[in-house]
């Protein structure tokens, strides 16, 4: 699936740099400028940082390019009600879930963003396949164009699954390690004396919930395993004395 960003009549050159940087962060590099109202400037380049190659590769096109996309998604940023809404929009997460259900291996997907001031017209939104809106505060609903792009691209980057580059400085505990840790804890609990079976079961449930909610890293998981193995070793040594 090829996803392109389409910036329609963008007015602020600084947004071009910020958008290029955000797109590069999430490995999206195809950006079209349709009837742009600004140019790439030195400030754009400064804001792009490591996304400079993405900025320099932006292509200018006319509005007819919208017909080239198999799936066209129009962003809807303006405040609307049930009475003046062009169509019911989906959230970025709902869009990602919907795209994940489709076979888009040879499909061109375009995400259309309107100008900063007035956004896309109702006609352009109505002619798209999806309308997309980011849920925001009722008291402060408007988001900067570059911020909107960042939120949407983060969600769509999850479509890549394991292929997505993870830049966290650690690896989370996986299912195999999770189950191994619980097995060790259960083994220690089995060797302990409790007044009733219900007390033992309560401990088992508490530890299972704690491990499930803690989002341990791999290193932390093995450290906890080592602790409980040491507890078991000490218990076995006392039993043999």
Half-sphere exposure of 240 (CA within 13 A, CB side): 6
* pLDDT at position 80: 52
Does the pTM of the predicted model rise above 0.75? no
Domain chopping of the chain, boundaries? 2-163, 175-240
C-alpha span between 203 and 221 (Å, rounded): 19
The residues near 80 (Cβ < 8 Å, ≥ 6 apart) are 86
Q: Considering the domain 2-163 in this protein, what is its CATH number?
A: 3.40.1280.10
* pLDDT at position 82: 46
DSSP 8-state assignment for residue 201: H
Residue 111 · residue 132 · CB < 8 Å:
yes
Long-range contacts of 154-161 (CB under 8 A, 24+ apart): 154/26, 154/92, 155/92, 155/93, 155/95, 155/96, 156/3, 156/26, 156/28, 156/92, 156/95, 156/96, 156/99, 157/26, 157/27, 157/28, 158/96, 159/1, 159/96, 159/99, 159/100, 160/27
How does pLDDT run along the chain (241 residues), one tens digit per residue? Answer: 689 999 999 999 999 999 999 999 999 999 999 999 999 999 999 999 999 999 999 999 999 999 999 999 999 875 454 444 455 788 999 999 888 887 777 889 999 999 998 889 989 998 898 899 999 888 888 889 999 999 999 999 888 764 445 556 677 888 899 999 999 999 999 988 889 999 999 999 999 988 888 888 889 999 999 999 998 888 777 777 6
């Amino acid at each position: 699936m090829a996803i392109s960003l389409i910036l329609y009549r963008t007015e602020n050159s600084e947004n071009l740099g910020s958008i290029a940087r955000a797109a590069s962060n999430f490995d999206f590099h195809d950006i079209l400028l349709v009837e742009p109202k600004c140019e790439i400037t030195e400030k754009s380049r400064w804001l792009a940082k490591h996304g400079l190659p993405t900025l320099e590769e932006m292509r200018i096109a006319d509005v007819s390019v919208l017909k080239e996309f198999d799936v066209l998604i129009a962003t809807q940023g303006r405040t609307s009600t049930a009475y003046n809404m062009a169509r019911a929009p989906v959230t970025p997460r709902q869009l990602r879930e919907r795209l994940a259900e489709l076979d888009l291996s040879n499909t061109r997907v375009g995400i259309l963003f309107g100008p900063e001031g007035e956004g896309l017209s109702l006609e352009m939104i109505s002619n798209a396949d999806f309308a997309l809106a980011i849920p925001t505060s009722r008291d402060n609903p408007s988001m900067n164009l570059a911020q909107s792009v960042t939120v949407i691209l983060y969600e769509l980057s999850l479509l890549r699954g394991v292929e997505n580059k993870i830049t966290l400085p650690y690896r989370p505990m996986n299912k195999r390690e999770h189950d191994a840790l619980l097995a060790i804890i259960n083994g220690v609990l089995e060797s302990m004396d409790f007044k009733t079976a219900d007390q033992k079961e309560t401990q088992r449930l508490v530890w299972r919930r704690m491990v499930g909610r803690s989002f341990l890293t791999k290193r932390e998981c093995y450290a906890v395993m080592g602790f409980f193995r040491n507890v078991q070793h000490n218990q076995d040594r006392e039993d043999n004395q």
